[in-house]
Structure 1
Amino acid sequence: MINQILYEKNNYLTLLFWVLVGAFAGPLVYVVVPIHMLILKQKGAWLWILLGLWLVLTLSDSRQPVFRFAVNLKTAMMLVMGYLFLVMPKDNEDPIRFIKPFIPFFVVAFVSLIGSPVAFEGFQKAVSYVLLLTVIPPMVNLLLTYERERFLYHLVMVGVIVLVTGIVLRFVAPGFVIFGGERYSGLLGNPNGMGIYGFMFTALFTIVIHFHRYLFTRNQIIFIYAIIFASLIMGGSRGGLFSTALFIGAWFLLRRDVIIGFIIMSAIFISYQYVVANFEAIVTSLGLADYFRLETLETGSGRLIVAKIAWKHIQENYWFSHGFAFNEHILAQYKDYFEQEGHQGNVHNSWLTMWMDAGLVGLVLFAIGWLTNFIRAAKFSPLVWAVFFGLLLSISVESWLVASLNPFTIVLVIILSMMGNPAFYNRRVGD
């Protein structure tokens, strides 16, 4: 593992250079990184452009002032990515196949911005989502075609480096990775972000080693899983832990029998309300009341409060709404009230958030876009449904899928792009 990183040390130093320029050179980073991306394009280094984008998206989620540059840098990088899409080599596959099922949704999303009180912000968010779904899939297809093993290996390694760095800082500079002085968040912005990252990276790594077992030794696989689970446990995010558990359970069942796996996982979701209703008793009987922070369940960690506000405004814009960023506009009006009730953050539910932004019509079209790409990937491997089951829980307790420029949505796009491409499954010559 170390040898592979050292072999690519110049490329990893490039990513480190971007971070250092952003941390210490101020606005210069908004010039240096886009220009460097164009230089990498000339060298055909598409892999490091993609990995660099994922790294910057990860750092943009951090609350640390030293990484504040990443918030604006990711926007500049996405604009460059739009240009790169126009000039990158295209294979025989339709380069916009991934985004096509989303076109009806984006029509609604853009039209909804007419008369919106946050039309400019909403337009920016809509464009960034279009760029993500347009640019990332063909770039993944390009890398699978020309440097698959190298792409998959270093995709995993960047995630490992992020997690290992967080764990190391937990012991050498704990204040840097402890959220609110209490809970571990790693390099992410909060423990819930750490939970989502852990869930998505578990899915990504499990898929890679299942179809390309030769990329990592047994000890390396054990080490990587240990790092992931240690990060999840230290973060203590209920959503992250349960989403990961659902993914692993679904993966185990679907590998043995797809139909039985679907039946069992569906039964789990049907019984979800029973589990939630008795969650306190179950956790208490296991002696895990403190770990799962049962004292916060009465108000759902403040989420029930904001959900009531969200539902109130959904009634006012039931079928159609005012586009991306409208939910932020509404919730900002209740900021003082939320602080009094001890709530921080957003709606913490992707379904409600998108409903507030795009109305029920937009929400349904948004779901159809994602479901279509899951079905395409399932034609090659039904194991993609394990990601689906974990995802359903994750987006029901967090709003991350509504946003494009975070370190989580891009991983989902990469996973579906890989599993929907036959080049991902072909074995190496001689295997």
Structure 2
Amino acid sequence: MLTFLKNNSQFAIMCLAWVFCGIINQYVGVAAVVLSVVMLKQKGMYKELILGLLFLLVMSDNRQDEALYAATAKNFYIVLISAFYFFDRKNFRGLNDYFKPFVIFFIWSAIVLTQAPMVNFTNSAMKTLSYMLLFTVTPAYFIKAFREHGEEFIKDVIMMFSCILLAGIIMIPLFPDVVFLVGRYSGVYGNPNGVGIACTLLFMLTYFASKKFPNLFNHTDLRMVYGLIILSTLLAVSRNTMMSIILFLFLARFYEMGYLAGFAILIVTIVVYELINQNIVAIVEALGLGQYLRAEAINDASGRLIAWRTAWKEIQGQFFLGRGFAYDEWFFYENRHWLSQLGHQGGVHNSWLALWMNTGLIGLILFAVGFIRTFVKALIHSRLAFPLLFAVLFSASFEAWIMGSLNPFHIVLILIITLITKDDQFNAEKEESPVPVS
């Protein structure tokens, strides 16, 4: 981690400058980010451009007023790097086809904008555009970084996220009100579920990277990264993360032995999971973990059942069409008061119900087709694509992060899949990256 900070000292200083400017004033923070993006492009620092986006998305997830700048700045950021991509294609070699399986879904998403409530139309249109840009532009920057920096880029991403996790832990005794939400640890993310999803994706990214590039990390690096992930997960008491990581590791072990063994163990896993799910409270209490794992919350699904039933009832009104991107966010915000009285806070807590609310059954099917096609393509390159798929399906069934465009989670999934499918792009360009000017 110290090596990462030393080799990327100017980038680290830039990120700290963003945070400092955002604390001073929201608009000063936005201006600092925009100016930095333009300067990075002028210097041809594409790796830093995509790393900066990843960092900014994490900051935008933070609930503190001092981080409000990031929520605005990320919109300018994605527009700027998209303009760089579309108007400077000669610098983006390599086939970028991640978005192709989702083209029909994007077209449908634009069509259902006609069904969006007028008060939410602008937000819905912006969310639709940002979702398209996420799928179209960010993979191109990942490929560019692969070609210029090879596997070292992946290591830099992992180390940056590890630094973010470490920062949250260090802040516990210093700023407890910042890193805790209603008694649960959230780190620098917006809530405990957020840090949990981040840990899930970082674990899988690190696992894939260490398998693909055995010499990328030494034992100390891996112990540090995995240690931070485990500690953050335990502090957040994220059951979703624990189950997602266990599921991924369990399936990965058998899929490495062969597809037949992997499929067989998947069936067994589904059966066992259903048995455990039916008796989860009794099992947790018998193990003496009732208080730590919040057994009483498990019993009522932590308010998620309320959200799911509410979403399902709302879906009946636009079963096939949906009401446009971000409708789920708008709907749950408008009804937050009476939902809170029922014991629910937040959104729909399910990516697939969110997709259904926003794009209807037709949109859900179109997205599912693109999603499965993407993983089938990844499966050609790695047997571990199936364990990744099932872990993602599980995680996304309890949080709506797949539906988000500019959150710090979906972009990491795109990075993992690009890492799997674009193995021929690593170090494809022997061009020398520009040296940062002091």
Q: Which of the five TM-score ranges fits, normalised by the shorter chain?
A: over 0.9
Structure 2 counterpart of 1:385, one-letter code: F
Q: How much has 1:112 moved relative to structure 2? A: 0.6
Structure 2 counterpart of 1:177, one-letter code: V
Q: State yes or no: 1:291 paired with 2:292.
A: yes
Per the alignment, residue 144 of structure 2 pairs with: 142
Q: Following the alignment from structure 1 to structure 2, what is the Cα–Cα distance between the partners of residues 7 and 403?
A: 32
Per the alignment, residue 153 of structure 1 pairs with: 155
How many residues were matched structurally?
A: 426
Q: State yes or no: 1:416 paired with 2:417.
A: yes
Q: State yes or no: 1:231 paired with 2:205.
A: no
Q: Following the alignment from structure 2 to structure 1, what is the Cα–Cα distance between the partners of residues 90 and 387?
A: 32
Name the CA shift for 1:333/1:143 in 2 (closer, same or farther; >3 Å).
Answer: closer
Contact 2:244 2:392 survives alignment (8 Å): yes
Structure 2 counterpart of 1:48, one-letter code: E
Per the alignment, residue 76 of structure 1 pairs with: 76
Name the CA shift for 1:7/1:85 in 2 (closer, same or farther; >3 Å).
Answer: same
Contact 1:236 1:292 survives alignment (8 Å): yes
Q: Following the alignment from structure 1 to structure 2, what is the Cα–Cα distance between the partners of residues 413 and 253?
A: 24
Q: How much has 1:388 moved relative to structure 2? A: 0.9
Per the alignment, residue 302 of structure 1 pairs with: 303
**CA deviation digits over 1:203-226, x for unaligned, max 9?**
111111111122221112111111
Q: How much has 1:43 moved relative to structure 2? A: 1.5
Per the alignment, residue 282 of structure 1 pairs with: 283
1:376-395 map, 5 Å? 376-395=377-396
Q: How much has 1:424 moved relative to structure 2? A: 5.9
Q: Following the alignment from structure 2 to structure 1, what is the Cα–Cα distance between the partners of residues 403 and 270?
A: 22
Q: How much has 1:90 moved relative to structure 2? A: 5.1
Secondary structure of 1:204 counterpart:
helix
Secondary structure of 1:215 counterpart:
coil
TM-score for the superposition, normalised by structure 2: 0.93
Q: State yes or no: 1:13 paired with 2:13.
A: yes
**CA deviation digits over 1:113-150, x for unaligned, max 9?**
11420221111101000011111111111111121133
Q: State yes or no: 1:263 paired with 2:261.
A: no
Name the CA shift for 1:104/1:271 in 2 (closer, same or farther; >3 Å).
Answer: farther
Q: State yes or no: 1:38 paired with 2:38.
A: yes
Q: Following the alignment from structure 1 to structure 2, what is the Cα–Cα distance between the partners of residues 61 and 248?
A: 28
Q: Following the alignment from structure 1 to structure 2, what is the Cα–Cα distance between the partners of residues 77 and 282?
A: 47
**CA deviation digits over 1:73-96, x for unaligned, max 9?**
11111111211211154555433x
Per the alignment, residue 372 of structure 1 pairs with: 373
Contact 1:89 1:142 survives alignment (8 Å): no
Secondary structure of 2:206 counterpart:
helix
Contact 1:377 1:421 survives alignment (8 Å): no
Secondary structure of 2:276 counterpart:
helix
Per the alignment, residue 328 of structure 1 pairs with: 329
The unaligned stretches of length 5 or more in structure 1 are none
- Is 84-93 or 343-352 further displaced after alignment? 84-93
Q: How much has 1:426 moved relative to structure 2? A: 8.2
- Is 409-418 or 315-324 further displaced after alignment? 315-324
1:91-170 map, 5 Å? 93-95=94-96, 97-117=97-117, 118-170=120-172
Contact 1:90 1:138 survives alignment (8 Å): no
Name the CA shift for 1:416/1:42 in 2 (closer, same or farther; >3 Å).
Answer: same
Per the alignment, residue 344 of structure 2 pairs with: 343
Q: Following the alignment from structure 1 to structure 2, what is the Cα–Cα distance between the partners of residues 125 and 242?
A: 30
Secondary structure of 2:397 counterpart:
helix
Structure 2 counterpart of 1:21, one-letter code: C
Contact 1:373 1:420 survives alignment (8 Å): no
Secondary structure of 1:246 counterpart:
helix
Per the alignment, residue 60 of structure 1 pairs with: 60
Contact 1:211 1:425 survives alignment (8 Å): no
Name the CA shift for 1:91/1:47 in 2 (closer, same or farther; >3 Å).
Answer: closer
Q: How much has 1:111 moved relative to structure 2? A: 0.6
Secondary structure of 2:84 counterpart:
helix
Q: Following the alignment from structure 1 to structure 2, what is the Cα–Cα distance between the partners of residues 25 and 90?
A: 35
Q: How much has 1:58 moved relative to structure 2? A: 0.6
Q: How much has 1:4 moved relative to structure 2? A: 3.8
Q: Following the alignment from structure 1 to structure 2, what is the Cα–Cα distance between the partners of residues 146 and 330?
A: 44
Per the alignment, residue 183 of structure 1 pairs with: 184
Structure 1 counterpart of 2:172, one-letter code: R
Identity fraction in percent = 32
